[in-house]
A and B are shown apart, each in its own frame.
Chain A
Amino acid sequence: MTVTATDLLLEATDVSKTYGAVVALDHASLSVRPGEVHALMGANGAGKSTFVKILTGAVTPDTGRIVVRGHERTSHSPAEARRNGLVSVYQEPAVIPDLDIRDNLRLTATPVEPFRHWLAELGLADLRLSGLARRLPLASLRIVDLARALALEPDVLLLDEITAALPANLTERVLQVVQQQGADRSVIFISHRLIEIAAICDRATVLRNGETVGVVDVTAGSEDRIVELMLGEAATAPRLREAGAGEAARKEQTPRLSARSLGDGRRLRDATFELYPGEVLGVVALEGQGQDELFAILSGAERPVTGSLLVDGQAVSLRHPADAIRMGLVFVAADRAEALLMQRSVRENISLPISARIGHWGWIDLGREGRTVHRAVETLQIDARAGSEVRRLSGGNQQKVTIARWVAAGVKTMLAFDPTRGIDIGTKNQIYILLRELAAAGAAILLYTSELKEVQLVCDRAIVIFGGEVVAEMPAAAADEVDLLRAAHNLMPGAALPEETTAGTPAAKAAVAAATDEAAGRP
């Protein structure tokens, strides 16, 4: 590594950003050489998206220096970042749906001829520019977004999960085009698919907990190093569960919940698993593998298109969350804003499902309700001093309120979707303990988590979802983070990562195509 700073096309150093108590980026750095494809890697919540937002001017960092071609640049908006030579393509296409493609180009001052050229390169030569953007399928919109970014001739192109949900043929074209960019243009490439990283990237920067923990030259076998860096040291926190307790309980009982080939016709294809009383079952998946849809179906918010659901051995059809709640299936969302009445009191928030779940309009017994709420507040140790409006509570206390409302009603089956996302470590531990206590009292708990260490910490078993299917099941004791992450990338335990994959060869293309086929759920 004898590259001096001036040789770098982009150099970001000492970049920090905190949101309240949450540290998103902690003196992170990134250097990109001219002409390279540079992967930005990290587990969920490692700070990738914050980094991208800072580079493209969508977020202003607390500290940090960004140097492009030797000149320090500050970008306060995406437009300014573009003038500084940084253009990004986000997961959600930045295309105005009610304008036609030509007007969308005009909006961003994109020259039309280069745009057409890149469109053809990307395999959409016959796209009509006069068509409304909203008529195009999502995959085409992404391609349009990418072609537009390329037509702007950026120094640095940022691609955030560009290949997610693209069909295989388009993925292949995109990877080819990305790789063929000249020595003057660098690409920062973010993808959950290690196989794509291996196929097209030159180097990778790995983030963990907001810090840059390593820069890796991508060569044969470097995927293991990347996975290692993403995870860091193994979790050292003590285990909360007693080994084998869930195992023994499982054998004798009918499952509280049986999912048989559940699918929503889109992302979720075949979810089959069983959840027993007294256990915490972990669900592990990369983003967008169908876990959101699975939880929506189980909580009655959406109806399954395929498969069936059994509660206590009886087939059920849930038409409304009220049905699920009546069956004892209650949902705890990761995003408190989707679960709470922010301007209402702690009391109202806790009593809402209790009073609503019967579905008739009786008189509220204020005394009894008050006692129930008080009990729940005490059980969860909620600091309710600012209780007249939930939005004034801390994030951790808000999350406790969303759990308290179900505990107050007597929980049988809890569907917890990343319940510890974005809350402080002290509250996290309280929630872990609470989940174990609920399980010990006979509740069945399904816990989706984006923090892999939570599996060994809290769960009895874990299932892994990839491409809408349950691809692995393992006892939590055996589910260390490396295994889970491999399984989440649909790499079988022990199997070698695709070492022979080198860019450009027909074999590599086939491997990439096969992997993306699988991910996109196409035959």
Chain B
Amino acid sequence: MTSAAGTVDRPSLTDRSVGAMRTVARNNAWTLGLLGFLVVLLVFTKVVNSNYGLSSLQGTATSVLPLALAAVAQAVIVIAGGIDLSISSQMALISCVAATMMKTYPGEDVAVAIVLLALLLGLVLGAVNGALIVLTRVPDIVVTLSTYFIWAGFALLVRPAPGGSAAEWLKDLVVGSLGTDLLPKAAIVLIVIVAAIWIPLSRSRLGLSLYAIGSNRLAAFRSGVPVDRTKFLSYVIGGLIAAFAGLSLTASTGIGTPVPEPTYTLISIAAVVLGGVSLAGGIGGVFGPIVAVVVLQLIRDDMTFMRVNPNFGLVAQGFILIGVLVFGSLIEMRRSRS
């Protein structure tokens, strides 16, 4: 019927809203499908583990928070046509700096300043990645692989061993729930951070430009989009979100761990792909990757609970990832043929 882009005829208001809903459904078919998969997975979890209930949700939420933020950071960068391998060591460095400073300068109020400082550090790390990529024209994957090692080295210099501490209010932010078990605090924190960054971004010129340079650099350039500046800013925004991810690590563990968990980077990429963002850039959003992180986490938890050999669990995760993607691209092929 009608679409968000508008047609020549002017349909009635109800027709329009029905049509608009259809368009939303069609444009977000992937994410909706993934949500369906998540529901099935939750039911499955409840079947294999009858103890899994509302209170377990907040445990899941707390453990998912750093990964979900990492996935959002990765999504912003991938949408703009880049990729950031350094995310996990950015998180480690920021977490170590925050935990160490909170130990050295204790005090709940000082901690606020430290958190702001950590966020600033995230912006700087992202800016370094972005500037190196734009100025040197070295491919994103090479630059961020290099900075992965650099940030990891700095993290070890700051904290040779795990330690430090976190302010109580910070820990309190991500553990437990708000009144009812249905509202895990970690989930609310995630929603607030993502909403505060993503909603204004997607409504602004910068947001459209991010999609534009990821979708077709040449077309964006010819349309007057400052391609280099936009690319740089995608890494700055990614760095800011990665800083939130690093702080959430400190908040949930209460310390800083200097050795980055490389799987954070890998899972963030897997979640971005599973969440419907094209690695070629230009397609997708941040909601899909968040759902994907929860799906991946639940699969891991279920396997742990079912006492699956953890090594086999890894193999199974890989197969699930490939299976879902093959299934998705088959549907996509069908759709574009009709």
Contacts and interface: CB of A to CB of B under 8 A. Distances in A.
A364 B204 contact: yes
B303 to A, nearest CB: 35
B225 A381 contact: no
B9 to A, nearest CB: 10
Contacts of B26: 388
Interface string B185-206: 0000000000000001001111
Interface string A18-56: 000000000000000000000000000000000000000
B8 interface: yes
B4 A345 contact: yes
Contact of A361 (B4, B204, B211, B216): B204
Interface in B209-260: 209, 211-212, 215-216, 218-226
A324 B220 CA distance: 14
B333 interface: no
A341 B205 contact: no
Interface string A393-424: 00000000000010000000000000000000
B307 to A, nearest CB: 43
Q: Which 9 A-B pairs have the closest CB atoms?
A: A387-B5, A346-B5, A322-B224, A341-B215, A353-B223, A347-B5, A325-B224, A356-B225, A355-B205
Contacts of A370: 6
B223 A356 contact: yes
Instruction: Give the residue among B3, B216, B223, B226 with the most A Cβ atoms within 10 A.
Output: B223
Interface of B: 3-8, 23, 26-27, 200, 203-206, 208-209, 211-212, 215-216, 218-226, 278, 282-283, 336
B204 A353 contact: no
A55 B280 CA distance: 35
A344 interface: yes
Given A343-B282, A352-B223, A356-B225, A338 B218 contact: yes
B6 A384 contact: yes
A385 B211 CA distance: 22
A362 interface: yes
A284 interface: no
Contacts of B283: 343
A324 B225 CA distance: 12
B92 to A, nearest CB: 31
Given A340-B216, A405-B223, A355 B208 contact: yes
Given A361-B206, A370-B6, A388-B4, 16 more contacts: A299-B222, A321-B221, A343-B215, A343-B283, A344-B215, A347-B4, A352-B208, A352-B225, A353-B223, A356-B226, A357-B224, A362-B205, A366-B203, A374-B6, A388-B5, A405-B223
Contact of A387 (B6, B200, B205, B223): B6
Contacts of A338: 216, 218-219, 222
Nearest to A346: B5
A392 B8 CA distance: 17
A358 B219 CA distance: 17
Nearest to B221: A321
Contacts of B218: 338
Contact of A341 (B6, B8, B206, B282): B282
Nearest to A382: B8
A331 B225 CA distance: 14
Interface string A346-372: 111001110111111111101000100
B212 A356 contact: yes
Given A347-B5, A356-B223, A377-B5, A341 B203 contact: no
A378 B5 CA distance: 11
A347 B6 contact: yes
A346 to B, nearest CB: 4
Contacts of A381: 8
B7 A339 contact: no
Given A387-B3, A388-B26, A392-B336, A348 B208 contact: yes
Contacts of B209: 352, 355-356
A105 interface: no
A370 B10 CA distance: 14
A377 B212 contact: no
A355 B203 CA distance: 11
A321 B336 CA distance: 33
A463 to B, nearest CB: 23
Contacts of B282: 341, 343-344
A362 to B, nearest CB: 6
11 contacts: A322-B226, A340-B216, A342-B216, A343-B282, A344-B212, A348-B212, A356-B208, A356-B209, A361-B205, A378-B8, A388-B27
Nearest to B209: A356
A324 to B, nearest CB: 8
Contacts of B4: 345, 347, 387-388
A312 B144 CA distance: 46
B44 to A, nearest CB: 33
A341 B23 contact: no
